[in-house]
C-alpha cells in the first residue's frame, strides 16, 4: 500500500513536469503545425538560465522569472525570424528546429560548461512529508500543485478570454481566422513564446530534482512527444490526459518491468496511433 | 505531370557531356580509392558509402513517396544487431549473418509497415519516431540479448569472416563500393519503374491516384518494406565495418541524422541523399578534429541550408519550381 | 595513357619523400580519449587533469623525446569513442593511447586496439573481463577491475559492519553488475543475503521509482552510482526517508571526490570501498593532492589519481625502452614489466593477467575542517582481482552479470 501510494505520487510528479513541457509543444503544433524538436532545448535553457540567475541573486523566484522571460524571448525570435519564413512547410520547419536544437545544445555547453548541477529548493520545501510509512518529499507535491494551477490558468485563458477565442479560431482554421481580422502572425509568435516559457518553467521546476546537465534537452523530449501524440496534437485537454497516462505508466513501468520500461512507454502509443492516428482528443 | 518530366532523364546534350566527365572522375577516384587515399580516409569513405545506401533507402520513402520517416535508423539497427548477435553469440557463418541481418531488418519493416502505411505527413513522422524509439528501447534495455548500454563488440572483420585471402581496410572498401553500386542501380531502376511513378503520383496527389484505381495503401506499404530492406543492407555493412553496435546507432539522433542527409542532399534524387551522407559523415569527422564546436556548426549548416536551399543541395542544379516539402502543406 | 602513369609515379614518389623526410627524433605522439562533454564530462576532465599534471611535472619529455598530446572527446558514447580512436590512430598516427572511462567504451575499443596493434593504457575502465576472460595483448590496465574492491568490501560488510541483509541499487551496465556481483559473492559466502537487486538505467534522471521499492527491513543499502546521478541519489535517499532508517554503503564512485564536494550532510556516514581516497595519509598522496589542488583548485578524484598513475606508468615504460615507442611490441611488454614506486594510492604491481594488485581502502564520509572527505577506516593490503580464489577456478565461472 505504502508502495502504491508513493509510486502514484511519483507518477503524478512526472506527469506535472511533462504537462508543463507538453502543453507548449501541443500549442505550437495546434496553431502552427510545428513539430518543435527544439522544445527540449527551451526546457534545458530554462534550467541553465535559472541556475545562473539564482546563483547571483540567491532567489529561485528571480531565477524562474528570468528563465521564463529570457527563453520566451528566444522562442519569439526563433519563430519571428526563422520559422515564419517557412510557414506551412511542416517538414522544413521541423528540420529548422532540429538545427536549432543542435545549436542550443552546443551553445549551452560553451556558455555553462558540462558540469551537472541542481537548483536549490524554494525555502521551506526541502523537507519531506511523513504519514505513517509513507515518506514523500514536499517539493514534489508542490510541483504537482503548481502544474495543476498552470493547467487551470491555461484553461481559463483558452476558454474565458478573447485571446483564447482567437487562439481557438486559429487552431481550427488559421486561414479563416486571418480572414476575420485576427493577427495570426503575432498570435503565432506569442503562442510559440508562451510555449517556450512553459518549457523553461518546467526546467526550473524540475531543477531541484532532475537538475541540469548536457543532454537533458533530449531526455524528456521523446516523453513529451509521447504525451502530445497520445493526447492528440494541438489539444490542451489531451496534453493533460496524456501527461497523467505517461507519468504513471513510466513510473510503474520502470518499477515493475525495468527491462521493458521503454517498451511499455512507446508500444501503447504506437497502438493508440494505429487505431486513432489523431490521438485521444485530436482532430484531423 | 511536371515531376515526371523532370525526373524523366530528358538530358540536355552539353550538360550530359559534363555529367559524363564528372561521373568518370568520381568513378575513377572510387575505384582507385585504396591507391589514392590513406587508410584513414579510406575508412571514412567506406562509412560514407554505407550511409549513402541508408540515405538513399530513406529517399525512396521521403523523396519519392513523400513519407517522412523519423525512425529509419531503427531498421538499419535491427539488421546490424542481428549480424552482431548471430556472429558473436551464435558464431554463425558469414552468409548466415548477412542473410539473417537483411531478413531481420526486412521482417521488422514488414511488421512496422502495417502500423504506418495508412497515415501521412506529420502523423507518419510521429509514428515512425515512436517505432524507432521502440527499437532503441529494446536495444537499450533488453540486456541479455543486446548487451544494453555496452552494445555488442567483437563482430569479426568482414574479410576474415567471409574467408577472403586479403586483410586491411581495402577489402571492406571494395565490398562496400560494390554493394553501393548494386543498391544504387536497383533503387534507380525502382524509382524509374511504373511502380516508382505511382509512388510519385501518391506524393503529388494521393486522392487522384486513388480515384485512378491505385491501391495507395499497398504502394506505401511496399515502398516502406523496400526502404527497410535497403536500410538493412546498410545495417549489415555497418556492423562489419564498425565491428561494434550500440544503442546510439538507433536512437532519435541517429534517425534525424539520416533524415538530414536526405533533406540536405535533396530528396527525390537518390544522388543528392548519397552526397548528403558524404557531406555529413565528413563534416562530423573532419570538423570534430579541428574544433570542439562542430555541433554548433552542424546546426548552423542545417539552418542555413533550409533557408538558402530548402529543397536540398542537389536540387539547386535544376532551376525548376521546388519540390519536396511543398507537398506536405496541410 | 602514359601521362597517367607519370603522374601516378610522381604522386607516389612525392608521398614517400614526405613520409620519410622526418626530423631525427620526432615527438612521441600520445593519444588521449575521455568524455569531455555529456553526462560524464566531469569524470573525463578529472582524468585529463591527472594526465596534464604529470606531463607538466616531467615537462612533456620522456627518454629525451618530447611528448605530443592529442586529446579527443568520446562523449561517453562507445560509438563516438571508436570513431575518435580511429582518427587518433589512422589519421594522427599516435604511438600510444591512454584514457577511456566507461566499461562500455572500453569493451568497444578493445577489438579495434588489438587489430591496430596500438599499446593503450586503461587507467579507469574497470570491466573485469579485460584482464580475465577476454584479455587483450595491447591494453594494459593500471586502475582496477570492478569487482576487485568489492570482494574485500563484501567480507568487511559481513564481518566488521555485521550486516546480514542488504539491498542493492546500481546502474544497469557492466560496471554495476561487476561491482554488485563482487560484493554479493563474498558477502553471501560469509553467510549474508542480498535480498533485493534494483537496476537503474545508466541515463536515470530520477531515483524515485527505484528508491520507493527498497524494503525497509534490510540492514543496509548498497549503492553504485556516479557523476550527476550520485548527487541526485544522495539527496533523494534522504528525501524518501531512508537516510534515518537504513545504513547506506556502496561502491567507491558513489562518494568519490568528483562528486563529494557538491554533496551536503546527506552524505555523512556513507561507507564505501575503493583503491584510493584523496584523504589517504601517505607522503606520496599528500604531495599529489597538494600539487593537484594548486593547479586545478579542487581535490583530486580517483579518476585524476588513476590517470596520473597511468601516465607515470607509461613514461616509466617508455624510459625503460629508451624512448623507442615505434617498437610497439617492446612498449607493450615494457608496460607489463615495469615497476613504479611512490604512487599516491600506495604500492601497485601487475599480476600475470595484467591487472593491478593493490590496496583496497574502506572509507567513511566525514566532515573535516568543513570539507567532506573519504576517511580511510580500514585497509586490505595487496588485493588481487581474484580475491582469495584460485585464478583458474575463478575464470571457469561466468562473468558477473545481473
Contacts of B293 in chain A (CB under 8 A): 106, 110
Give pLDDT, residue B11.
Answer: 44
Domains C28-144+282-354 and C148-274+359-396 share a fold: yes
More confident call, B307 vs C237: C237
C39 to A109: CB separation less than 8 angstroms, yes or no: no
Q: pLDDT band at residue A221, thresholds of 50, 70 and 90?
A: confident
**Cβ-count burial of B235 within 10 angstroms (0-12 exposed, 13-18 middle, 19+ buried)?**
buried
Nearest chain B alpha carbon to A173? B330
From residue A149, give the alpha-carbon distance in Å to each of A19, A153, A167, B250, C334: 11, 6, 20, 38, 67
C240 to A135: CB separation less than 8 angstroms, yes or no: yes
Mean pLDDT over the full length of chain B = 86
CA distance A43 to chain B (A): 18
Distance CA A187, CA A179 (A): 14
Contacts of A254 in chain C (CB under 8 A): 209-210
Q: What percentage of chain B exceeds 70 in pLDDT?
A: 91
Average pLDDT over residues C63-90: 89
B255-264, B315-324, C244-253 — which is least confidently predicted? B315-324
B-facing residues of A in 71-100 (CB < 8 A) are 82, 85-86, 88-92, 94-96, 98-100
Nearest chain C alpha carbon to A14? C206
Give how many domains chain A has, as a whole number.
Answer: 1
From residue A126, give the alpha-carbon distance in Å to each of A37, A144, B130, B229: 33, 15, 37, 54
Distance CA A34, CA A28 (A): 6
Mean pLDDT over the full length of chain A = 87
Average pLDDT over residues C14-27: 59
A136 to C240: CB separation less than 8 angstroms, yes or no: yes
Give pLDDT, residue C54.
Answer: 95
Average pLDDT over residues B117-131: 83
CA distance B284 to chain C (A): 10
pLDDT value at B273 more than 90: yes
Give pLDDT, residue C24.
Answer: 57
Shortest CB distance from A106 goes to which of B141, B260, B293? Answer: B293
A-facing residues of B in 178-217 (CB < 8 A) are none
A-facing residues of B in 26-45 (CB < 8 A) are none
Q: Residues B287-315: pLDDT tens digits?
A: 776 777 777 888 888 888 888 887 888 88
Average pLDDT over residues A233-258: 87
- Which residues lie closer than 8 Å to A158 by C-beta, 6 or more apart? A164, A167, A168, A236
B260 to A218: CB separation less than 8 angstroms, yes or no: no
pLDDT value at C339 more than 50: yes
Give pLDDT, residue C248.
Answer: 96
A209 to C232: CB separation less than 8 angstroms, yes or no: yes
Q: Residues C240-279: pLDDT tens digits?
A: 888 888 999 999 999 999 989 888 899 999 999 999 999 9
A109/C contact by beta carbon, under 8 A? yes
CA distance C184 to chain B (A): 20
Q: Residues B29-54: pLDDT tens digits?
A: 888 888 888 888 898 999 999 999 99
Judged by phi (left if over 0) then psi (alpha if -120 to 50, else beta), residue A88 lies in left
Torsion angles phi and psi, residue B267, rounded to 5? -65, 150
Shortest CB distance from A92 goes to which of B121, B301, B310? Answer: B310
Q: pLDDT band at residue A124, thresholds of 50, 70 and 90?
A: confident
Average pLDDT over residues B212-216: 90
Residue keyed to cell 576532465: C45
C232 to A219: CB separation less than 8 angstroms, yes or no: no
B-facing residues of A in 195-224 (CB < 8 A) are 218, 221-222
Mean pLDDT over the full length of chain C = 89
Average pLDDT over residues C308-330: 93
Shortest CB distance from C82 goes to which of B35, B38, B244? Answer: B244
Give pLDDT, residue B307.
Answer: 85
On whether the CB atoms of residues C57 and C284 are closer than 8 A, the answer is no
C79 to B285: CB separation less than 8 angstroms, yes or no: no
A121/C contact by beta carbon, under 8 A? no
Q: Residues C376-397: pLDDT tens digits?
A: 999 999 999 999 999 988 898 8
Name the grid cell of B212. 485512378
Distance CA C280, CA C378 (A): 11
B18-22, B70-74, C387-391 — which is least confidently predicted? B18-22
Shortest CB distance from C174 goes to which of B38, B150, B244? Answer: B150
B244 to C108: CB separation less than 8 angstroms, yes or no: yes
pLDDT value at C88 more than 80: yes
On whether the CB atoms of residues C266 and C243 are closer than 8 A, the answer is yes
Domain ranges for chain C: 28-144+282-354, 148-274+359-396
Q: Residues B148-179: pLDDT tens digits?
A: 888 898 899 888 888 888 887 888 999 999 99
Give pLDDT, residue B10.
Answer: 47
B55/A contact by beta carbon, under 8 A? no
Give pLDDT, residue C3.
Answer: 55
Reference A99, options B310, C57, C21, B89; nearest CA is: B310
Average pLDDT over residues B246-265: 88
Write down which chains contact chain A via at least 3 CB pairs under 8 A.
B, C
Shortest CB distance from A211 goes to which of C201, C216, C228? Answer: C228
Compute the CA torsion angle A14, A20, A26, A30 (nearest 10 deg): 160
Compute the CA torsion angle A115, A121, A126, A129 (nearest 10 deg): -110
A225 to B140: CB separation less than 8 angstroms, yes or no: no
- Range with the largest mean pLDDT of B10-24, B143-157, C36-50, C115-129: C115-129
Contacts of B300 in chain A (CB under 8 A): 99, 103
Residue A282 covered by a domain: no
Contacts of C209 in chain A (CB under 8 A): 7, 10, 251-252, 254-255
Q: pLDDT band at residue C12, thresholds of 50, 70 and 90?
A: low
Give the domain range for residue A215: 2-275
Give pLDDT, residue B5.
Answer: 44
Size of interface A-C (CB pairs under 8 A): 80
Name the grid cell of C109. 575499443
Distance CA A187, CA A189 (A): 5
Rg (CA), chain C: 22
Inter-residue long-range contacts of B271-276, CB under 8 Å, 24+ positions, other chains counted: B271/B314, B272/B59, B272/B312, B272/B313, B272/B314, B272/B315, B273/B52, B273/B55, B273/B56, B273/B58, B273/B59, B273/B63, B274/B52, B274/B55, B274/B56, B274/B184, B275/B313, B275/B314, B276/B55, B276/B312, B276/B313, B276/B314
C73 to B246: CB separation less than 8 angstroms, yes or no: no
Q: pLDDT band at residue A183, thresholds of 50, 70 and 90?
A: confident
On whether the CB atoms of residues C257 and C305 are closer than 8 A, the answer is no
On whether the CB atoms of residues A228 and A242 are closer than 8 A, the answer is yes
pLDDT value at A239 more than 70: yes
pLDDT value at B194 more than 90: yes
C261/A contact by beta carbon, under 8 A? no
Pick the CATH number of C148-274+359-396 from 3.40.50.2300, 1.10.1370.30, 3.30.360.10, 3.30.420.10: 3.40.50.2300
Average pLDDT over residues C69-98: 90
Nearest chain B alpha carbon to C71? B289
B137 to A263: CB separation less than 8 angstroms, yes or no: yes
More confident call, A177 vs B50: B50
Please list the alpha-helical segments (H only) found in chain B. 2-7, 13-31, 33-36, 39-59, 72-88, 94-116, 121-141, 143-146, 158-161, 169-191, 194-204, 206-211, 216-242, 252-265, 271-282, 288-290, 294-308
A251 to C205: CB separation less than 8 angstroms, yes or no: no
Average pLDDT over residues C45-66: 93
Distance CA B205, CA C139 (A): 60
Give pLDDT, residue A145.
Answer: 95
pLDDT value at B328 more than 50: no
pLDDT value at C7 more than 70: no
Give pLDDT, residue B6.
Answer: 46
Distance CA B98, CA C239 (A): 52
C357/A contact by beta carbon, under 8 A? no
Size of interface B-C (CB pairs under 8 A): 73
A224-228, B282-286, C222-226 — which is least confidently predicted? B282-286
Give pLDDT, residue B2.
Answer: 44
Average pLDDT over residues A80-85: 89
Contacts of C227 in chain A (CB under 8 A): 116
Question: Domain containing A94 — which CATH number?
Answer: 1.10.3470
Q: pLDDT band at residue C224, thresholds of 50, 70 and 90?
A: very high
Its pTM stands at: 0.85
Shortest CB distance from C205 goes to which of A133, A137, A219? Answer: A219
Q: pLDDT band at residue B326, thresholds of 50, 70 and 90?
A: very low
Residue keyed to cell 504537462: A19
A114 to C41: CB separation less than 8 angstroms, yes or no: yes
C209 to A130: CB separation less than 8 angstroms, yes or no: no
Q: pLDDT band at residue C147, thresholds of 50, 70 and 90?
A: very high
SS3 state at C192: coil
- Which residues lie closer than 8 Å to C31 by C-beta, 6 or more apart? C70, C72, C85, C88, C89, C92, C94, C96, C97, C98, C99
B122/A contact by beta carbon, under 8 A? yes
pLDDT value at A270 more than 80: no
Name the grid cell of A48. 541553465
C77 to B248: CB separation less than 8 angstroms, yes or no: yes
Shortest CB distance from C227 goes to which of A116, A133, A136? Answer: A116
More confident call, C300 vs C402: C300
Average pLDDT over residues A136-151: 93
C79 to B242: CB separation less than 8 angstroms, yes or no: yes
Class of domain C28-144+282-354: alpha beta
CA distance B149 to chain C (A): 6
Contacts of B157 in chain C (CB under 8 A): 115
Shortest CB distance from A106 goes to which of B121, B259, B299? Answer: B299
Name the grid cell of C180. 554488485
Residue keyed to cell 542480498: C194
A-facing residues of C in 124-183 (CB < 8 A) are 172
pLDDT value at B327 more than 50: no
Average pLDDT over residues C169-175: 90
Q: What percentage of chain C exceeds 70 in pLDDT?
A: 94
Reference B225, options B13, B80, B87, B61; nearest CA is: B61
Shortest CB distance from C172 goes to which of B38, B143, B242? Answer: B143
Amino acid at each position: 500500500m505504502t508502495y502504491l501510494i508513493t509510486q502514484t505520487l511519483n507518477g503524478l510528479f512526472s506527469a506535472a513536469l511533462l504537462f508543463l513541457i507538453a502543453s507548449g509543444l501541443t500549442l505550437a503544433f495546434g496553431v502552427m503545425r510545428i513539430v518543435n524538436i527544439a522544445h527540449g532545448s527551451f526546457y534545458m535553457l530554462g534550467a541553465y538560465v535559472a541556475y545562473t540567475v539564482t546563483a547571483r541573486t540567491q532567489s529561485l523566484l528571480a531565477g524562474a522569472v528570468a528563465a521564463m522571460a529570457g527563453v520566451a524571448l528566444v522562442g519569439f525570435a526563433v519563430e519571428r525570424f526563422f520559422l515564419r519564413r517557412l510557414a506551412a512547410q511542416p517538414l522544413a520547419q521541423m528540420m529548422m528546429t532540429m538545427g536549432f536544437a543542435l545549436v542550443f545544445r552546443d551553445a549551452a555547453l560553451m556558455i555553462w560548461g558540462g558540469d551537472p548541477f541542481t537548483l536549490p529548493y524554494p525555502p521551506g520545501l526541502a523537507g519531506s512529508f511523513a504519514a505513517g510509512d509513507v515518506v514523500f518529499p514536499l517539493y514534489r507535491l508542490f510541483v504537482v500543485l503548481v502544474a495543476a494551477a498552470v493547467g487551470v490558468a491555461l484553461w481559463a485563458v483558452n476558454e474565458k478570454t478573447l485571446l483564447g477565442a482567437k487562439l481557438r479560431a486559429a487552431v481550427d482554421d488559421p486561414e479563416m481566422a486571418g480572414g476575420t481580422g485576427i493577427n495570426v502572425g503575432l498570435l503565432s509568435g506569442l503562442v510559440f513564446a508562451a510555449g517556450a516559457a512553459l518549457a523553461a518553467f518546467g526546467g526550473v521546476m524540475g531543477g531541484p530534482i532532475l537538475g541540469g546537465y548536457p543532454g537533458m534537452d533530449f531526455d524528456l523530449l521523446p516523453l513529451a512527444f509521447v504525451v502530445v501524440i497520445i493526447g492528440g496534437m494541438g489539444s490542451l485537454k489531451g496534453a493533460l490526459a496524456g501527461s497523467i497516462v505517461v507519468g504513471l505508466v513510466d513510473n510503474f513501468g520502470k518499477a515493475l518491468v525495468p527491462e521493458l520500461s521503454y517498451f511499455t512507454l512507446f508500444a501503447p502509443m504506437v497502438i493508440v496511433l494505429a487505431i486513432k492516428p489523431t490521438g485521444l482528443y485530436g482532430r484531423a | 505531370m511536371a515531376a515526371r518530366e523532370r525526373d524523366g532523364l530528358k538530358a540536355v546534350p552539353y550538360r550530359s557531356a559534363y555529367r559524363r566527365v564528372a561521373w568518370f572522375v568520381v568513378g575513377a577516384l572510387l575505384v582507385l580509392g585504396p591507391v589514392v587515399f590513406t587508410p584513414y580516409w579510406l575508412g571514412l569513405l567506406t562509412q560514407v558509402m554505407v550511409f549513402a545506401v541508408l540515405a538513399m533507402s530513406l529517399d525512396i520513402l521521403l523523396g519519392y513517396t513523400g513519407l517522412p520517416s523519423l525512425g529509419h535508423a531503427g531498421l538499419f539497427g535491427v539488421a546490424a544487431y542481428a549480424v552482431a548477435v548471430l556472429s558473436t553469440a551464435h558464431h554463425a557463418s558469414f552468409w548466415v549473418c548477412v542473410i539473417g541481418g537483411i531478413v531481420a531488418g526486412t521482417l521488422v519493416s514488414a511488421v512496422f509497415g502495417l502500423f504506418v502505411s495508412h497515415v501521412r505527413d506529420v502523423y507518419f513522422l510521429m509514428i515512425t519516431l515512436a517505432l524507432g524509439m521502440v527499437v532503441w528501447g529494446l536495444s537499450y534495455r533488453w540486456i541479455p540479448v543486446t548487451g544494453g548500454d555496452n552494445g555488442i563488440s567483437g563482430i569479426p572483420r568482414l574479410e576474415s569472416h567471409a574467408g577472403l585471402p586479403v586483410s586491411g581496410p581495402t577489402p571492406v572498401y571494395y565490398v562496400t563500393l560494390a554493394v553501393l553500386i548494386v543498391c544504387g542501380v536497383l533503387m534507380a531502376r525502382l524509382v524509374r519503374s511504373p511502380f516508382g511513378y505511382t509512388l510519385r503520383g501518391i506524393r503529388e496527389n494521393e486522392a487522384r491516384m486513388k480515384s485512378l484505381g491505385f491501391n495507395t495503401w499497398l504502394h506505401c506499404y511496399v515502398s516502406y518494406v523496400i526502404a527497410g530492406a535497403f536500410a538493412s543492407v546498410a545495417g549489415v555493412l555497418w556492423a562489419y565495418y564498425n565491428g561494434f553496435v550500440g544503442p546510439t546507432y538507433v536512437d532519435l539522433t541517429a534517425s534525424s541524422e539520416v533524415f538530414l542527409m536526405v533533406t540536405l542532399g535533396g530528396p527525390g534524387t537518390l544522388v543528392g541523399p548519397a552526397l548528403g551522407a558524404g557531406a555529413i559523415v565528413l563534416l562530423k569527422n573532419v570538423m570534430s578534429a579541428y574544433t570542439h564546436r562542430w555541433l554548433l556548426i552542424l546546426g548552423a549548416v542545417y539552418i542555413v541550408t533550409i533557408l538558402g536551399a530548402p529543397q536540398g543541395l542537389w536540387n539547386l542544379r535544376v532551376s525548376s519550381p521546388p519540390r519536396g516539402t511543398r507537398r506536405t502543406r496541410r | 595513357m602514359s601521362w597517367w602513369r607519370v603522374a601516378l609515379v610522381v604522386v607516389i614518389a612525392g608521398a614517400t619523400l614526405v613520409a620519410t623526410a622526418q626530423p631525427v627524433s620526432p615527438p612521441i605522439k600520445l593519444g588521449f580519449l575521455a568524455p569531455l562533454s555529456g553526462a560524464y564530462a566531469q569524470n573525463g576532465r578529472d582524468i585529463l587533469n591527472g594526465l596534464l599534471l604529470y606531463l607538466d611535472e616531467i615537462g612533456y619529455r620522456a627518454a629525451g623525446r618530447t611528448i605530443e598530446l592529442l586529446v579527443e572527446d568520446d562523449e561517453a558514447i562507445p560509438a563516438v569513442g571508436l570513431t575518435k580512436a580511429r582518427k587518433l590512430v589512422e589519421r594522427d598516427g599516435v604511438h600510444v593511447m591512454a584514457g577511456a572511462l566507461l566499461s562500455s567504451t572500453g569493451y568497444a575499443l578493445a577489438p579495434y586496439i588489438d587489430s591496430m596493434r596500438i599499446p593503450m593504457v586503461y587507467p579507469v575502465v574497470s570491466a573485469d573481463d579485460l584482464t580475465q576472460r577476454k584479455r587483450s595483448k595491447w591494453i594494459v590496465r593500471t586502475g582496477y577491475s570492478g569487482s576487485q574492491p568489492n570482494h574485500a568490501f563484501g567480507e568487511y560488510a559481513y564481518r566488521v559492519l555485521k550486516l546480514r541483509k542488504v539491498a542493492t541499487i546500481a546502474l544497469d551496465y557492466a560496471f554495476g553488475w561487476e561491482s554488485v556481483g563482487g560484493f554479493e559473492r563474498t558477502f553471501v559466502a560469509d553467510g549474508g543475503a542480498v535480498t533485493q537487486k534494483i537496476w537503474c538505467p545508466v541515463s536515470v534522471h530520477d531515483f524515485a521509482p527505484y528508491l520507493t521499492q527498497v524494503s525497509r527491513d534490510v540492514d543496509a543499502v548498497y549503492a553504485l552510482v556516479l557523476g550527476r546521478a550520485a548527487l541526485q541519489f544522495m539527496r533523494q535517499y534522504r528525501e524518501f526517508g531512508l537516510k534515518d532508517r537504513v545504513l547506506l554503503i556502496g561502491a567507491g564512485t558513489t562518494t568519490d571526490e568528483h562528486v563529494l564536494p557538491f554533496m551536503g550532510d546527506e552524505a555523512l556516514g556513507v561507507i564505501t570501498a575503493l583503491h584510493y581516497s584523496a584523504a589517504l595519509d601517505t607522503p606520496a598522496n599528500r604531495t599529489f593532492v597538494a600539487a593537484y589542488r594548486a593547479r586545478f583548485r579542487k581535490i583530486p578524484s580517483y579518476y585524476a589519481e588513476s590517470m596520473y598513475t597511468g601516465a607515470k606508468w607509461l613514461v616509466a615504460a617508455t624510459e625503460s625502452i629508451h624512448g623507442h615507442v615505434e617498437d610497439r611490441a617492446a612498449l607493450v611488454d615494457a608496460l607489463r614489466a615495469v615497476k613504479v614506486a611512490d604512487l599516491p594510492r600506495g604500492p601497485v604491481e601487475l599480476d600475470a593477467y595484467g591487472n593491478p594488485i593493490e590496496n583496497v581502502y574502506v572509507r567513511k564520509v566525514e566532515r573535516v575542517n568543513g570539507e567532506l572527505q573519504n576517511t580511510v577506516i580500514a585497509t586490505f593490503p595487496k588485493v588481487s582481482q581474484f580475491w582469495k580464489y584460485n585464478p583458474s577456478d575463478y575464470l571457469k565461472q561466468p562473468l558477473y552479470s545481473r
